[in-house]
Amino acid sequence: MKNSYQDKIHRVSMIFSAAYVGYSIGVAPVIGYHDGAQNHDELKSLLRKSLIMIGLVGVAMTVSAELLAVPLAEIFVGYDTELMELTISGFRIFALSFGFMGYAIFASGFFTALNDGVTSAIISFLRTFVFQCAAVLLLPLVWEIDGVWISIVVAEVSAVVISAIFVVIKKNKYHYY
C-alpha cells in the first residue's frame, strides 16, 4: 500500500517539476549566447530575472498543490478512503518542495549552458541521489511515514544551498554576479 500512494504522489510531482525543467532547457541557449558574447550585464540580468521568476512560480506551485491535494488524490486513489487520507497528508508535506526544487533544477541547467558540465552534474547528483537518499534513510527514523515526505523537502532545500554556494563561488569566472 505504501508504494502505491508514494508512486501516485511522485507522478503528480513530475507534472509540477516539468515546468522548471522546461524553463531551464528553454533559457539555456540564451544563457550560452550571452556567455559566449561576453554580455555580462545581460547574463547577470537573465540570472536575476530567472531567480525571481522561479521563486514566484515556486510559490504559485506550492499554493496550487496545497489547494489541489484533495482533487488530485481523488483522481489517483479515490477508491480507498484510508489511502486517500494518507495521500493527501503526504502530498501536502511534499508540496512544500515545489517552492525549492526550481532553483536547483535551474542552477544545474544554468551551469550546463555555461559549458560547466561538472558543476551541473555535481548539483544534479547531489540533489537527486545523495541528498534524497540520505534524507529518506534518516528522517523516517524520526518522523516515520511523514519523514519520507519531509525528506524530499529537506533534500530540495539542501540542493538550493549547494546551488547557491556554486553560484557564489563561480561568479568571478562567469561574471554574472
Give 116's pLDDT tier (boundaries 50, 70, 90): very high
DSSP sequence for 101-170: HHHHHHHHHHHHHTT-HHHHHHHHHIIIIIIHHHHHHHHHHHHTHHHHHHHHHHHHHHHHHHHHHHHHHT
How far apart are the two ends of the chain, measured CA to CA in Å?
48
Q: Which long-range contacts (CB under 8 A, 24 or more apart) does 148-153 make?
A: 148/6, 148/90, 149/9, 149/90, 149/91, 149/93, 149/94, 150/93, 152/94, 152/97, 153/93, 153/94, 153/96, 153/97, 153/100
Q: Is the pLDDT of residue 127 over 70?
A: yes
Share of the chain above pLDDT 70, in %: 95
Q: What's the pLDDT at 51?
A: 98
Neighbouring CB atoms inside 10 A of 102's CB total: 28
Q: Is the pLDDT of residue 10 over 80?
A: no
pLDDT tens per residue, range 74-113: 887 888 889 889 889 988 999 999 999 999 999 999 999 9
pLDDT tens per residue, range 41-72: 999 999 999 999 999 999 999 999 999 999 98
Q: Is the pLDDT of residue 5 over 60?
A: no
Domain boundaries, the chain: 2-174
Instruction: Give 94 or 6, the one with higher predicted confidence.
Output: 94
Q: What's the pLDDT at 1?
A: 46
For 117-142, what is the mean pLDDT?
A: 97
Instruction: Give 94 or 1, the one with higher predicted confidence.
Output: 94
Give 8's pLDDT tier (boundaries 50, 70, 90): low
Burial group, residue 146, by CB count within 10 angstroms (0-12, 13-18, 19+): middle
Q: What's the pLDDT at 175?
A: 94
Q: What's the pLDDT at 76?
A: 79
3-state secondary structure of 3: helix
Q: Is the pLDDT of residue 124 over 80?
A: yes
What CA–CA distance (Å, rounded) separates 115 from 40?
15
Q: Is the pLDDT of residue 4 over 90?
A: no
